[in-house]
Amino acid sequence: MDSINYLHTIGYAIISHDCFIADATGNMPNGIKNDADWRYFQSELDNSDLLLIGRKSFINFQNIKRNRLIPTSKIKDIEIEKNDLCFFNPKNISIEDAVKVFLPETKKIAVVGGNKVYELVFNSIQFNEFHLTVAHSFYINEGILLNDNIKSLDDIFDLMNKNKLTVHKEKELDKNATLYIFKKY
Ligand SMILES: NC(=O)c1ccc[n+]([C@@H]2O[C@H](COP(=O)([O-])OP(=O)(O)OC[C@H]3O[C@@H](n4cnc5c(N)ncnc54)[C@H](OP(=O)(O)O)[C@@H]3O)[C@@H](O)[C@H]2O)c1
């Protein structure tokens, strides 16, 4: 399936060396957090029109005033709560239709996770880019993986490849973190 060509969709994630986005309690441990990545991530979000964000991430960052679209199974189809906040049920309304209803001028969507949200995008509008930071000196061992079907960085590269995403740029953000920018080919 091709991406929806009027939307440019970019995924963002930081993972541990062993490919987890969160620990077994569902939270991001301090060891995975990285200042250089956070600055990069925020500057990217500043250049996005809309965030596609999971419920827990939304609750953790409620004070961040950005345009947010949140998938949930708890409503019928779509509910605009504020001018910068909208919930939708992907079972009954597609991401592109939700965007049309909520913020039709949207061009650039930042998909900030977690793993169910990434999966939703892989299985629907797809990613034009994925910006993946690997905190390579930090291990989580047990928790939430970037994707349920992956166990290693090689598996992630395979997943990206299956979705026609290839590494366009690799950058050392600091001594603990490397950024891989995947782009659609
Ligand atoms: N390391 C990273 O880069 C990174 C990035 C993001 C998040 N995280 C971590 O991952 C943890 C989980 O993230 P998260 O809860 O924000 O996101 P998530 O696990 O992807 O999504 C969680 C919620 O979003 C809704 N949802 C997602 N996909 C859906 C679908 N296809 N249909 C209907 N509803 C859907 C559901 O809400 P309802 O229960 O309302 O139905 C679901 O409970 C967070 O605690 C955070 O610590 C890490």
Q: Which residue out of 57, 94, 111 has the highest number of ligand 1 atoms within 8 Å of its CB and is therefore the one to mutate?
A: 57
Can you tell me the distance from the alpha carbon of 123 to that of 94, in angstroms, rounded to the nearest whole number?
11
Nearest CA to ligand 1 atom 19: 114
For ligand 1, the distance from its centroid to the CA atom of residue 106, given in whole angstroms, is 22
For ligand 1, the distance from its centroid to the CA atom of residue 72, given in whole angstroms, is 9
Q: Where are the domains of the chain?
A: 29-169
* Predicted local distance difference test score (pLDDT) of residue 60: 86
* Predicted local distance difference test score (pLDDT) of residue 25: 95
Which pair of tokens denotes residue 170? 């690799």
- Which residue do the tokens 């345009």 mark? 67
Look at residue 164 and tell me whether its pLDDT is greater than 80. Answer: yes
Q: Is 96 exposed, middle or buried (0-12, 13-18, 19+ CB in 10 A)?
A: middle
Query: Is the CB of 120 within 6 Å of ligand 1?
Result: yes
Residues 94-120 have pLDDT tens digits of: 999 999 999 999 999 999 999 999 999
Query: Is the CB of 74 within 6 Å of ligand 1?
Result: yes
Fold of 29-169: Dihydrofolate Reductase, subunit A (3.40.430)
Query: Is the CB of 48 within 6 Å of ligand 1?
Result: no
Q: Which residue out of 10, 70, 117 has the highest number of ligand 1 atoms within 8 Å of its CB and is therefore the one to mutate?
A: 117
* Predicted local distance difference test score (pLDDT) of residue 4: 57
Nearest atom within ligand 1 for CA of residue 12: 3
User: 2-14 burial string, b = 16+ CB within 10 Å, else e?
Assistant: ebbeebbbbbbbb
pTM, whole model, 2 decimals? 0.96
